[in-house]
């Protein structure tokens, strides 16, 4: 019989791998959406809708899936969720019309709901002092977005975009079977059988949850939106080919996933509040610089007119994007540290609510990026929007938290609210 330590390790490893596969598939349109856009002749707004459609379902299912996890356990819920997406993923390879892609994208998007299942499932296996780190390791499955950018372009170039969903359907099926055979269930982690779904939803009355929803809609919703948008941005702004653009975009997606574990460790050590506060400031500064569009202007000098240009080189832009990815990785971990500290007995429902808000951010933002691009013809308008959202989070956080708490030196558990 496996020891508790071994069970914890296998649950964490199998859940992280499964979530990585789910996130790969959830972000699939970041790559295959580009040839589909050309094939169907879509405008920027339509491309944004195409890329964001799977995110909508992933967002809307997070709350009910989180509640089901509290009720029936994460193992069975995650296994059935993964199986349910295999056929829709494969059918994408057969789609030919815009509405086909939107409809199947909604079905495939259920894979994104795996986060609220897995985060509650994993957290309950660990003691409070290590939950942030454990959830951070699980959340590193966000790196699936980077894996898609590394794997899918090569498949598209070699075999065409239709081969990507075919291969991904097989990967999802294999991952689901492996997860079932190496994971475990502990019935004591479930809520009492007499607790109804109505009882679980009472937590919505807590105003703190809506603040955490705002934070997560930026650090996760913004991460998803930029992960979907950056490949196309590099192609349009700097003229790179698909493979190079996807590789550079992975400089954002990869740290945004892998470093989430480190963000969880910092959150355990310094507290969720301190980490989240500095995350917002780092993003605010970087997004301000990234928002400035490429500009040419003429100054009349004593020697005649002189033309000057202000523009971010691909190298400087990628460094800033990488920094935002690192900050968002820390932020995703710190927001869930808030939740594990304050709602240990209702983790699935609360993580579902906050995850829903983050997923909706990931759905709405790419569409807004496309609308802004069509209206202004300025590609950096996406970063202008993100900059404004960061301002809202900073102001809200300062008003509610910063004026009342120290920034460093003691954990959130010691703070008297």
Rounded Cα distance, 198 and 200, in Å: 5
Nearest to 65 by CA among 116, 3, 21: 116
Band the pLDDT of 193: cuts 50, 70, 90. low
**414 assigned to some structural domain:** no
The answer to the question of residue 9 being in a domain is: yes
CA atoms within 13 A on the CB side of 117: 29
Whether 413 maps to a domain, the answer reads: no
Number of domain units in the chain: 1
Q: What gap in Å lies between CA 175 and CA 82, rounded to an integer?
A: 8
| SS3 assignment for 60-107 | HCHHHHHHHHHHHCHHHHHHHHHHHCHHHHHHHHHCCCHHHHHHHHHH
Indicate the range of 15-24, 171-180, 208-217 predicted with least confidence: 208-217
Give the 3-state secondary structure of residue 303: coil
415 pLDDT above the threshold of 70: no
Q: Is residue 242 part of a domain?
A: yes
Question: For the residues 32-50, what does the mean pLDDT come to?
Answer: 90
pLDDT (average), residues 211-228: 88
Pairing of strands 295-301, 304-310: antiparallel
Average pLDDT over residues 112-139: 84
Cβ(58)–Cβ(26) below 8 Å: yes
CA R_g for the chain: 21
Give the separation between CA 127 and CA 133, rounded to whole angstroms: 11
Reported residue count of the chain is 417
Which letter does DSSP use for residue 411 in this model? -
Backbone angles phi, psi at 203, to 5 degrees: -65, -20
Rounded-to-integer distance, Cα 152 and Cα 100, Å: 20
Which residues constitute the domain of residue 397?
Answer: 4-406
Q: Measured between alpha carbons, how far is 25 from 112 in angstroms, rounded to an integer? A: 8
Q: Residue 91 belongs to a domain with what CATH number?
A: 1.20.1250.20
Check whether 328 has a pLDDT greater than 90.
Answer: yes
Which tens digit of pLDDT belongs to each residue from 60-99? 888 888 888 888 888 999 999 999 999 999 999 999 999 9
Residue 301 is inside which H or E element, if any?
strand 295-301
What is the Cα–Cα distance from 25 to 168, expressed in whole angstroms? 7
Consecutive H or E run containing 60? helix 44-60
Residue 411 maps to a domain:
no
Contact 27, 148 (CB under 8 A): yes
DSSP 8-class letter at 42: -
Q: Are 59 and 155 in contact (CB under 8 A)?
A: no
Range with the largest mean pLDDT of 41-50, 140-149, 352-361: 41-50
pLDDT score of 412: 46
Q: What pLDDT does 197 receive? A: 67
Evaluate if residue 29 carries a pLDDT over 60: yes
Cα-flanking dihedrals φ and ψ of residue 185, to 5°? -130, 140
Residue 329 near residue 262, CB atoms below 8 Å: yes
Instruction: Give pTM, 2 decimals.
Output: 0.74
Closest CA to 139 of 361, 359, 330, 299: 330
416 assigned to some structural domain: no
Does the residue 310 lie in any domain? yes
Judged against a pLDDT cut of 60, whether residue 407 lies above it is answered with no
Residue at 192 is within a domain = yes
**Mean pLDDT of the 293-322 span:** 88
Kindly state the tokens that stand for 383: 């970063």
> Which are the contacts of 167, defined by CB distance < 8 A and separation ≥ 6?
155
In the structure encoding, which two tokens stand for residue 190, read together? 């479930």
């Amino acid at each position: 019989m496996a020891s508790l330590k071994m069970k914890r390790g296998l649950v964490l490893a199998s859940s992280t791998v499964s979530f990585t596969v789910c996130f790969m598939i959830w972000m699939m349109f970041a790559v295959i959406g580009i040839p589909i856009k050309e094939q169907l002749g879509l405008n920027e707004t339509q491309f944004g809708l195409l890329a964001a459609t799977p995110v909508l379902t992933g967002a809307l299912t997070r709350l009910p899936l989180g509640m089901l996890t509290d009720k029936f356990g994460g193992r069975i819920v995650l296994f059935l969720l993964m199986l349910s997406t295999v056929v829709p993923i494969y059918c994408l390879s057969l789609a030919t019309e815009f509405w086909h892609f939107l409809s199947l994208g909604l079905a495939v998007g259920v894979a994104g709901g795996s986060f609220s299942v897995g985060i509650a499932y994993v957290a309950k296996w660990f003691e409070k002092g290590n939950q942030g780190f454990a959830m951070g390791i699980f959340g590193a499955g966000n790196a699936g977005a980077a894996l898609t950018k590394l794997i899918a372009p090569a498949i598209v170039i070699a075999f065409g975009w239709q081969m990507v969903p075919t291969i991904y359907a097989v990967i999802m099926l294999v991952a689901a079977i492996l997860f079932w055979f190496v994971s475990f269930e502990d019935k004591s982690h479930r809520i009492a059988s007499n607790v109804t779904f109505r009882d679980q939803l009472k937590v919505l009355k807590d105003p703190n949850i809506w603040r955490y929803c705002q934070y997560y809609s930026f650090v996760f919703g913004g991460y998803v939106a930029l992960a979907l948008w950056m490949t196309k941005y590099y192609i349009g702004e700097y003229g790179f080919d698909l493979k190079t653009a996807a590789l550079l975009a992975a400089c954002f997606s990869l740290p945004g996933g892998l470093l989430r574990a480190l963000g969880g460790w910092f959150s355990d050590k310094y507290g969720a509040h301190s980490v989240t506060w500095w995350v917002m400031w780092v993003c605010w500064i970087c997004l301000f610089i990234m928002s400035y569009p490429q500009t040419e202007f003429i100054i009349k000098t004593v020697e005649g007119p002189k033309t000057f240009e202000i523009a971010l080189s691909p190298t400087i832009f990628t460094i800033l994007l990488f920094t935002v990815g690192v900050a968002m990785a820390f932020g995703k971990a710190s927001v869930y540290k808030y939740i594990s500290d304050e709602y240990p007995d209702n983790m699935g429902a609360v993580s579902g609510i906050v995850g829903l808000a983050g997923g909706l951010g990931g759905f709405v933002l790419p569409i807004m990026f496309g609308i802004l691009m069509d209206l202004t013809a300025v590609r950096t308008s996406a970063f202008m929007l993100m900059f404004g959202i960061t301002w809202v989070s900073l102001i809200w956080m300062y008003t509610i938290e910063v004026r009342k708490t120290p920034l460093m030196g003691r954990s959130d558990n010691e703070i008297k609210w």
